[in-house]
């Protein structure tokens, strides 16, 4: 995602990368912050209660499961992976998968930003 934002050049300033944890009991704010910043310094991580995460995951068709804890309490979290792009008003605009390239994401986001700019300009004219 960070590469896609860099490919947008100056338009990238209007893009916010957001990660949502599916393991809120383990992903304390400091842990989640370190994880998302490994991807991009400007990224933010969101969490919530287990119920809130379940509700959000169901809304966006995200599946996840927890492996059996080992002797030290460590476990694996398996989850689906998708990239959701929301417009400036919070509407879902695009969905990508792990096979979507940064170039493809940048291209599509560029088109969305151009469409949003055209729409704004047309309201003034």
Domain boundaries, the chain: 2-124
Tokens representing residue 66 in the block:
């927890």
Mean pLDDT throughout 40-47?
Answer: 90
Give CA–CA dist 18/47, Å, rounded: 11
What is residue 13's predicted lDDT score, i.e. its pLDDT? 87
Give CA–CA dist 104/85, Å, rounded: 12
Alpha helices in the chain, H assignment, sequence order = 2-7, 29-39, 50-59, 102-124
Buried b (16+ CB within 10 A) or exposed e, 24-36: beebeeeebeeeb
- Could you tell me if 53 and 61 are in contact, meaning their C-beta atoms sit under 8 angstroms apart? no
Identify the CATH homologous superfamily for domain 2-124: Glutaredoxin (3.40.30.10)
Q: Please state the pTM of the whole predicted model.
A: 0.78
Mean pLDDT throughout 9-38?
Answer: 92
Percent of the chain with pLDDT over 70: 94
What are the residues facing 84 on neighbouring strands?
95
């Amino acid at each position: 995602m960070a590469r896609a934002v860099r490919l947008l050049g100056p338009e990238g300033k209007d893009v916010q990368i957001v990660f949502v944890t599916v393991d809120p009991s383990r992903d304390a704010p400091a842990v989640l912050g370190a994880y998302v910043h490994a991807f991009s310094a400007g990224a933010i991580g969101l969490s919530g209660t287990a119920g809130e995460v379940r509700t959000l995951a169901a809304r966006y068709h995200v599946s996840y499961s927890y492996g059996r804890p080992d002797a030290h309490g460590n476990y694996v979290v398996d989850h689906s992976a998708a990239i959701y792009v929301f417009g400036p008003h919070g509407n879902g605009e695009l969905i990508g998968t792990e096979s979507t390239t940064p170039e493809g994401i940048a291209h599509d986001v560029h088109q969305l930003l151009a469409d949003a700019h055209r729409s704004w300009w047309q309201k003034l004219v």
